[in-house]
């Protein structure tokens, strides 16, 4: 599974490739990100999911 996080400006700010992940829950440490709105994209190779979150 590949996880990518983009700032609302479209800049890629985080990327990680996770191997051997099964299930539908993944924890990502976003403490290094500044406050703002982000887009997260998760690609399993079979499916791509996109979501949005805000960090205060």
Whole-number pLDDT of residue 3: 95
Task: Please check whether residue 52 is in contact with residue 39, taking contact to mean a CB–CB distance below 8 angstroms.
Answer: yes
- CA gap 31, 55 in Å, rounded: 9
Query: What radius of gyration, in Å, describes the C-alpha atoms of the chain?
Result: 11
45 sits in the region (left: phi over 0; alpha: psi -120 to 50; else beta) called left
Number of domain units in the chain: 1
Counting as low any pLDDT under 70, the low residues of the chain are 22-23
User: Domain range holding 8?
Assistant: 2-23+30-55
- pLDDT value of position 23: 66
What is the model's pLDDT at position 18?
A: 87
Q: What is the pLDDT of residue 52?
A: 97
Distances (CA, A) of 55 to 12, 32, 44: 16, 11, 24
């Amino acid at each position: 599974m590949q996880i990518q996080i983009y700032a609302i400006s479209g800049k890629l700010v985080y990327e990680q490739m996770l191997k051997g992940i099964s299930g539908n829950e993944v924890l990502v440490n976003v403490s290094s990100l500044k406050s703002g709105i982000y887009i997260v994209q998760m690609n399993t190779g079979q499916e791509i999911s996109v979501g949005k979150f805000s960090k205060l």
